Amino acid sequence: MIREVATLCLAPVLMAGYLASTDFHFKESKHKNTMGDAAIVSLQTCEKGWGVNTKAATNGLYGTELQYGVKFEPMPDYHVIVTPRFGVSYVDHPTVELPQRTQFGLGAQVTFGYKDMRLGVELWHLSNGKALGLNASDGANIGMNMIAIQTGWVF
């Protein structure tokens, strides 16, 4: 059952899983990530329409994003949800890849569901926005690209 207040959906989705750091960077092709892999937990206000997603990882990365989910139901009780996201992120310690503690977060998640159970794969990109002229640091804009595999439940 989905409950809506104005256009913000309030049917929380709790997800937990594994966040894998990749060595793929848009500018620095030979750089190896220093963050490492981590456990991650996220909470969404809703998986369909406008919502907010917050997440925290054990490697010190945190994020809050605005999202918009598009839900497909190919068969009764089966769901595929595509969710692009944009927001801010924070790292709780200095890193080479992210010279600012606070930066932008951009990503998308594809979630497969059966009834109230979910399995999701997410690409999460963090960057200080230097390419857009939005950075407040003189450091390089190496950025980070990560993949999260999570499982969860809709409440």
pLDDT band at 31 (very low <50, low <70, confident <90, very high): confident
CA angle centred on 16, ends 13 and 18, rounded to 5°: 145
pLDDT band at 143 (very low <50, low <70, confident <90, very high): confident
Q: Per-residue pLDDT for 76 more than 70?
A: yes
Q: Per-residue pLDDT for 1 more than 60?
A: no
Mean pLDDT of the chain: 88
Give the separation between CA 111 and CA 72, rounded to whole angstroms. 10
Q: Per-residue pLDDT for 154 more than 90?
A: yes
Average pLDDT over residues 75-80: 96
pLDDT band at 6 (very low <50, low <70, confident <90, very high): low
**Which residues constitute the domain of residue 62?**
4-154
Which residue shows structure tokens 């439940």?
A: 153
Average pLDDT over residues 90-117: 92
Coil, strand or helix: which one is 98? Answer: coil
> What CATH number has the domain bearing residue 109?
2.40.160.20
User: Residue 29, Cβ neighbours under 10 Å: how many?
Assistant: 8
Q: Per-residue pLDDT for 99 more than 90?
A: no
Longest dimension (CA), the chain: 53
Domain count, the chain: 1
Task: Please give the residue that has the higher pLDDT: either 127 or 5.
Answer: 127
C-alpha distances in Å from residue 1, one per residue of 23, 97, 115, 144, 154: 41, 42, 11, 36, 10
Give the separation between CA 72 and CA 81, rounded to whole angstroms. 6
Tokens describing residue 111: 């979630």
Share of the chain above pLDDT 70, in %: 84
